[in-house]
Structure 1
Amino acid sequence: MIWWTDLPSRARAERQAIAELAEEADWLQSAKWRLTDDLQFVADFDIVHLGASYPLSLTYPHFFPAVPPQVTPRDGARISGHQYGAGGELCLEYRPDNWEPQFTGAMMIGSAYRLLSGESPSDGEVADVASAHRQTVAQEVRNTKLRLILNTALLDILVEQPLLQAQPFTLDEHWFAKHWLAHPRRLGSPDAPPIWAAAPPLTEPRTREGFAVRLPDETNVPFEGSYAFLNTILTTLNFAPALERMTASDAEMPLLLVHRGTARLYSLAQGTGSRDVYVYRTIVAPANEQRLSAEHGVLADRSVAIVGCGSVGSKIAATLTRAGVGTLVLVDGDLLLPGNLVRNELDWRAVGLNKPDALAARLRDINPSTKTIVRRLLLGGQESSASTDSALQQIGQCDLIIDATADAQIFNLCGAVACAERKPLIWAEVFAGGIGGMIARSRPDLDPPPYAARRQILRWCDDNGIPWTGGDGEQYSLQIDAEKPPLIADDADVSVIAAHAGRMAIDLLKGGATTLPNSAYAIGMAREWIFAAPFDTYPIDLVPEGQWGPDADENARDELGGLLREFFPKAEEAADEG
């Protein structure tokens, strides 16, 4: 976009406004216009103040007047405390956050003069000009590669520590996205209860041991670390453990210095003698930033079995982990292969791993507090009976069972366990072609048992379905044949269904009154099959049918007695003789 070809009248008005300002103000001199190679309008000018001349350029951006022009020194100098580095843009009264299209380049030049004259009110005098510009933490750290993430609870403890009394300090660090990120783990002697400690947030950290010390406010603490500075601090403290590591060891040593209510991490590099010191930028994070409702607190005591760690199951598992579910039992007998990556929670790092192992590692990165139990087992496949029975027992001990396989045989096994153990079951399926999917739940004594609920849903599909003409119609029913080609659906399709299933699971795990009036829903994402439009949703009514609980004979007690007499006749004879 070249704004001045579309708005030549505005371009002429900009030139006229600057010409008029030059006539009125003796501090504005030598205004000249030019075009850059990429056709940007630029006004070069000088601001004269107290005998000093500041050569500046006013550059109109391509999207002017929607965004403001930039004022920069032509000689690449650092001329103001309100400047983005040497040669950088001046931070003026008019910025992208308060700019309005009716503002002009002449107003920017006037603001530049007020800034420079305000910082030098008279010969030899330097003054601060108040800034209305506030940077976010993200803006402040975006060019720093070394970062310490410090929560407010630890910072409050650090600023209350006795002056000049060093404490052992442990941090975990990892290299991620071309940055070193450090997380404090412990403050205090390892031989005594910690002053402060936190659960390890990383699965494979680089753990480092150092020291933390609070310095007096009058101490001059430079931002750029140096060996001489750290040596002076430790010598003043006469802190033998740190001095010994600094002079007699070639190991790295982190030193957390607390000063004037802030904390900064200095890291002494490996080596001997005078050597490099790296300074980390501190990011203060809220100690317990609550972004989940108080009702989610109960999820820490809940356990969920997820059968199927593929595209749907992996996404549901991630959702429940972020929600704070305490324990997840992950059951799958498959490997993650490159073709799975188009719609799975996992990435290339996991290719070749068993899906439940890879998913467990991913979930630990999301929430280290969530416990994961891995079962590399293909339910219904050629597995030992003992392994299958053990897995089914473990599944039945969970508070909720989720079938994310879209496999009829596995559904029957999960349903049988849910019914026998009186545990709720949720299942989710994505229809081929990305046209939609289905989620359903079966709750003990509130919904029909799983086998009956599924039969009712199949009957609903038969009653309401429209024959599919674009391919194999059976792929669009709830009967998924494992021998057929994989269903065609992308990550967005899968994510929609998995998100709804996750919502249903959290609703159930929290307990109390449900927010979902129906226990089954068909959710459309295209105008196909039964769906009249994208996001067309059909609630499905389930009616009472069948009984929850294990199958049992009506006269089970008498039948059991007869069975025992048949198997152990001698035991009965011995009882009679006794």
Structure 2
Amino acid sequence: MSIWFLENPARLIQERKEIEQLQMNKNWLLGVEWNISGIELLVKVEMEAHGQTYELEMEYPSIFPYAPPSIIPVDKDNWRTEHQYINGTLCLEWGPDNWHSSISGATMLESAYQLIHTENPKGTKKGDDRSFVPSRHSLTTGQELRHQTIRLYLNQSILGILSEVTAAKPLEMEFQFSFHSKTAVLHIVKIYDEGNVFWDNEYLPDSIKKEDVGKAQAFFIKETPANLKAIHSIEELILFLELNGINRDSINLDNDSDRLFLLVDGEGNITPFLSFEGKDTLFVVKMTIENENIVRRQSDLNSLKDKKVGIVGLGSLGSKVANSLARSGIENLFLIDDDVFFAGNIERHTLDWNSVGVHKVNAIKNQLSLISSSINVHVSLINLTGQESNSALNSVISRLGTCDIIIDATADSKVFNLLAAVSKGYNKPMVWGEVFAGGIGGLIARSRPKLDPSPQTMRQALFETTQSVPTISQVSTRPYELESETGEVWIASDSNVGIIASHLSDLIVDTLSTEDSEYPYSMYLIGLKKAWIFEEPFATFPINTDHIVEEPFDEENSSNIQEVIDFIKPLLKGEKDD
């Protein structure tokens, strides 16, 4: 690690001179003492304000002057200002958000004095009152909640209902906790009107809704007094509400469950109090508010909501595609894969250790339910080309035929041929993708009825295009591994798979769209390394299939089909042959 005052001695000399000059010109700076701790340079100072002495220590960061020094009271347990972080560091005029290297330590010390002198945290012997110094900060929600373990989540839908609370009619509600590693989030799950549910939480996925709920109430108060946060018990809250004209009988006094009380004033300010089961103590809960009902999805994706997508293969590629489609607005998916998730899959998969030993489709179904509360996922654990019962296979194929698009993410030629037949038989588009061994690149392709050749014909076109290109020898049958001509072993990374999955997902969405396609071709080779036919990462080779002519539909075949139709029609009507 670099030591700034050794690399930039001129700046250290400048810092010393400016602080010495400050001490000579300002009688409030009583003493200055330089120290060093490890590789950090420190300045201990004494300041005088309103007859009181303040000891502070300024620490220069190791990357000074590109980051600001920090100033902290030496006796921080004896006094505090309203502008300090939890660790005691003073929040001054200059911080990480507006710092520039021309600001000196002397300027920081002056800023610290101005804060202490104005706020007067110790007071004076004459009993002068402390003053308030306005904050220059506009904190993000994350900064405000950083040290809040318990939080109440409110979106615009709930806020709209709370704004209608009146003094004559408190709201009855239910809430639940959602626990995370260091955080407990409170969610309103139901709101009642005269005993009947008139609002039910639809944004919270069913898989994380709980049967064990707490009781909540919302009360209207005329205004929020400054000492509202001084309420620490149920009895104190009751007395306060009674002063606001709320009848004691309407307040939930049952301590057999967790209780949440929301006090809403005339300006729409909300103060939440929480009481745990069997306890009389109240805690003020910090709120996290979704300020806008923002739809971050492009409007042209709204049509995807009613589309049904069938995905075969939920490995590293298929799992990423499923996640991306769910986030794009797809709400109906049919997932097929018989494979079980193992620890070795974690490197490139969307699943993690929580799903080890679980069938991939079941784990992905649960994962998708946490992305969208309205998603509808059907799964099948069947092996499409394995030893399965004919009836089970036919049932899965029939369901695939109801999908608006069929996706092959297996890179298995047998599965590809079967799905190609299903695509043709049910007149549905098919999209497929593959990550090449070693992560050198990948393939994305689609076959749309009446617009593209059949999947088998398109694959043949790919073979013809690349047959003259030298291959790179495989070191083993393990997927994603490849050995170059120099003997170097390449292993596909998660990002390699992710890039191809993203391109494949975009191609799927484009295929489902009713708008004109953004893709001039229906098959692409995408490079991620300088290897094989790729001269550099992101080199892209479109495969032209416009010139491919499918075998014509002959008249004899047409006559045979008509004969079959003539045979089937009476059967559908329940008639019998004579």
Is the pair's TM-score, using the shorter chain for normalization, greater than 0.5?
Answer: yes
Residue among 407, 413, 417 paired with 1:402: 407
Change beyond 3 A, Cα 1:10–1:279 = same
User: Which amino acid is 2:51 matched to?
Assistant: G
Q: Is the 8 A contact 2:190 2:197 kept in 1?
A: no
Tell me the distance in 2 between the aligned counterparts of 1:190 and 1:421.
52
User: Which amino acid is 1:28 matched to?
Assistant: L
Q: Please say if 1:389 is aligned against 2:394.
A: yes
Q: Is the 8 A contact 2:439 2:480 kept in 1?
A: no
Tell me the distance in 1 between the aligned counterparts of 2:445 and 2:320.
17
Which residue number in structure 2 is paired with residue 34 of structure 1?
A: 35
User: Which amino acid is 1:315 matched to?
Assistant: K
User: Which amino acid is 1:310 matched to?
Assistant: G
Deviation at 1:306, TM superposition (A): 0.5
Moved more, 17-26 or 452-461: 452-461
SS of structure 2 residue aligned to 1:243: coil
Q: Please say if 1:255 is aligned against 2:289.
A: no
Moved more, 529-538 or 555-564: 555-564
Q: Is the 8 A contact 2:90 2:112 kept in 1?
A: yes
C-alpha deviations, 1:65-108, integer Å up to 9, x for none? Answer: 111111111111433211224x6111111111111111101111
Residue among 193, 196, 207 paired with 1:189: 193
Residue among 514, 527, 531 paired with 1:528: 531
Deviation at 1:61, TM superposition (A): 1.2
SS of structure 2 residue aligned to 1:29: strand
Change beyond 3 A, Cα 1:84–1:563 = closer
Aligned pairs, number: 553
Structure 2 stretches lacking a partner, 5+ long:
482-489
Which residue number in structure 2 is paired with residue 166 of structure 1?
A: 170
SS of structure 2 residue aligned to 1:102: coil
Moved more, 124-133 or 185-194: 185-194
Which residue number in structure 1 is paired with residue 346 of structure 2?
A: 341
After TM superposition, the score normalised by the length of structure 1 is 0.89
Which residue number in structure 2 is paired with residue 416 of structure 1?
A: 421
Residue among 118, 128, 132 paired with 1:128: 132
Which residue number in structure 2 is paired with residue 21 of structure 1?
A: 22
Once the two structures are aligned, what percentage of the paired residues are identical? Answer: 32
User: Which amino acid is 1:314 matched to?
Assistant: S
Structure 1 stretches lacking a partner, 5+ long:
478-486, 574-578
Change beyond 3 A, Cα 1:399–1:564 = closer
Tell me the distance in 1 between the aligned counterparts of 2:512 and 2:49.
70
Moved more, 313-322 or 330-339: 330-339
Change beyond 3 A, Cα 1:376–1:225 = farther
Deviation at 1:258, TM superposition (A): 2.5
Deviation at 1:199, TM superposition (A): 3.8
Q: Is the 8 A contact 2:229 2:284 kept in 1?
A: no
Tell me the distance in 1 between the aligned counterparts of 2:388 and 2:160.
55
Matches for 1:138-537 after TM superposition, within 5 Å? 138-163=142-167, 165-189=169-193, 191-192=195-196, 194=198, 197-201=201-205, 203-206=207-210, 207-219=213-225, 220-222=227-229, 225-233=232-240, 237-240=246-249, 242-246=251-255, 250-259=256-265, 260-271=267-278, 274-463=279-468, 465-469=469-473, 471=475, 488-537=491-540
User: Which amino acid is 1:266 matched to?
Assistant: F
Q: Is the 8 A contact 2:191 2:197 kept in 1?
A: no
SS of structure 2 residue aligned to 1:325: coil
Which residue number in structure 1 is paired with residue 484 of structure 2?
A: none
Moved more, 438-447 or 167-176: 167-176
Change beyond 3 A, Cα 1:26–1:191 = same
Change beyond 3 A, Cα 1:371–1:571 = closer
Moved more, 281-290 or 432-441: 281-290
After TM superposition, the score normalised by the length of structure 2 is 0.89
Deviation at 1:225, TM superposition (A): 4.2
Tell me the distance in 2 between the aligned counterparts of 1:62 and 1:335.
50
SS of structure 2 residue aligned to 1:517: coil
Change beyond 3 A, Cα 1:32–1:298 = same
Q: Is the 8 A contact 1:146 1:181 kept in 2?
A: yes
Q: Is the 8 A contact 1:28 1:46 kept in 2?
A: yes
Tell me the distance in 2 between the aligned counterparts of 1:392 and 1:374.
13
C-alpha deviations, 1:411-467, integer Å up to 9, x for none? Answer: 11111111121111110111111111111011111111112112112222214x222
Which residue number in structure 2 is paired with residue 11 of structure 1?
A: 12
C-alpha deviations, 1:95-127, integer Å up to 9, x for none? Answer: 111111111011111111222222249962433
Tell me the distance in 2 between the aligned counterparts of 1:395 and 1:214.
54
Q: Is the 8 A contact 1:186 1:198 kept in 2?
A: no
C-alpha deviations, 1:450-506, integer Å up to 9, x for none? Answer: 12112112222214x2222464799899xxxxxxxxx95221221111111111111
User: Which amino acid is 2:100 matched to?
Assistant: E
Tell me the distance in 2 between the aligned counterparts of 1:95 and 1:221.
32
User: Which amino acid is 1:210 matched to?
Assistant: A
User: Which amino acid is 1:226 matched to?
Assistant: S
Tell me the distance in 2 between the aligned counterparts of 1:488 and 1:78.
59
Tell me the distance in 2 between the aligned counterparts of 1:370 and 1:322.
10
Tell me the distance in 1 between the aligned counterparts of 2:536 and 2:188.
51
C-alpha deviations, 1:229-287, integer Å up to 9, x for none? Answer: 344356663354643413xxx2222223324523343332122xx53434432001134
C-alpha deviations, 1:47-67, integer Å up to 9, x for none? Answer: 212212211112111111111
Which residue number in structure 2 is paired with residue 65 of structure 1?
A: 65
Tell me the distance in 1 between the aligned counterparts of 2:199 and 2:363.
36
Tell me the distance in 1 between the aligned counterparts of 2:15 and 2:354.
55
Q: Is the 8 A contact 1:223 1:279 kept in 2?
A: no
Q: CA RMSD in A?
A: 2.9
SS of structure 1 residue aligned to 2:470: coil
Which residue number in structure 2 is paired with residue 483 of structure 1?
A: none
SS of structure 2 residue aligned to 1:545: coil
User: Which amino acid is 2:274 matched to?
Assistant: S
User: Which amino acid is 1:27 matched to?
Assistant: W
Tell me the distance in 2 between the aligned counterparts of 1:410 and 1:475.
16
SS of structure 1 residue aligned to 2:310: strand
Q: Please say if 1:43 is aligned against 2:33.
A: no
